[in-house]
Amino acid sequence: MGCLVTKFRYLLRIVFRSFVPLLGVSLLGYTVFRTGPGAVWKQLQAMGWGLVVIIVLGGFSQIAKAWACRQTLTCDIGALSWSRCFVAQLAADAVGQLGFAGKLLGESLRVSMLGATVPLADAISSSAVDGGLHTFTAAVVTVLGITATLLLAPLSETLRVYALVVVALVITVVALAAVAVASGWQLMGNAARAIGRLPGLYRFVASKLPIIDSAEHNLLTFYRENPAAFYANLTLNSVWHAMAIMEVYLILHFMGTKISVVGACALEGLTKMINLIGVVSPGNFGTYEGGNILITNLLGVSGTTGLTLALCRRARAVFWAAVGAACVVTVKRGRPAANFEVEGDDEDLSLHNTHIRAVSGASCD
């Protein structure tokens, strides 16, 4: 009976994991059909060689992100080449296209790919710090985008109230995070321990505590111990978001749609909210395109233009994800990521194993 229940649960898990991506792809197809394939194709033709410019700009964004990650490595990185950092970034971004779980596994892959030249404890710490600062800068852009929307879009009173509530919540979270870092509060660790007290969750949470505590400690102390690297990473992550705003502006410009830089900032800020909502869907298929249609309509731009904007940005993401996937395949053929040499002691190895189990959901027993 127990075996039958286990198989049934496994089948349900497979069905659910397959259902969400299929639902997203179906929603994407419906969105294109509803908008009109012919109209979308005309907009894509209007882009012309502009799409190549967008793809190249995406490459510069990847360089900025790799540079930002490099700033958070506090060990000696003399033997770490720029090409290795760039390949690790592309590989992590490629896997990260698969949603929230993909982002976790992508960071694990980045750690593994840096493991031959960087001690694993430092690689894991770098991943945590860069992820935290990237989230912080994304929150700032979101607040700026919503504020710009309040200034530009003819919103109803109800929508304005909702927008102000979201802004207040984001600012509160950002402020709380800033105070926590400045005061050394271990919010994540304490929250995890509180959750672990709930029935049936103790073993699961306890298996994740080492990586949570280690990541939070490095995140809290990074600013005080490495102020120059902190501000360099913050600047580069801000540049990454600025390039995303530039991407929106250029795509609309190539399609003949006039929009200000402030309008592009509003679009990007609201798009980040769509990405957050659609994080449970691998690739954010359908929800991303539909969200872009709603956002552009809100700002007085046609839904067809919004859909084409989303498709162009997805084409750029797919291109660099394909390059990243090719890099992963090349690395595995030459030397499997799981077999990289590790520079560190037994504690580093234990921390690495804990990190891999944490992102994969495996038991640490």
Tens digit of each residue's pLDDT (9 = 90 or more) over 173-194: 888 877 777 777 777 777 777 8
* Region 20-37 average pLDDT: 67
Q: How many separate helices (H) and strands (E) can be counted in the chain?
A: 14, 0
Give the Å distances, CA to CA, from 95 to 138, 211, 265, 347: 20, 21, 27, 27
Question: DSSP character for 75?
Answer: S
Closest CA to 118 of 67, 75, 72, 71: 75
Each domain of the chain, given as residue ranges in start order, spans 59-64+84-360
**pLDDT of the residue at 53:** 93
Nearest alpha carbon to residue 264 among 285, 284, 249: 249
Both tokens assigned to 21: 């991506």
Token pair, residue 308, equals 């084409």
Q: Cα–Cα distance between 360 and 302 in angstroms, integer?
A: 42
At residue 342, the pLDDT reads: 42
Q: What is the mean pLDDT of the chain?
A: 77
Least confident of 60-69, 204-213, 235-244: 204-213
Between 9 and 321, name the one with better pLDDT: 321
pTM across the whole model: 0.77
> Which pLDDT band holds residue 2 (cuts at 50, 70, 90)?
low
> What is the full DSSP assignment across 230-253?
HHHHHHHHHHHHHHHHHHHHHHHH
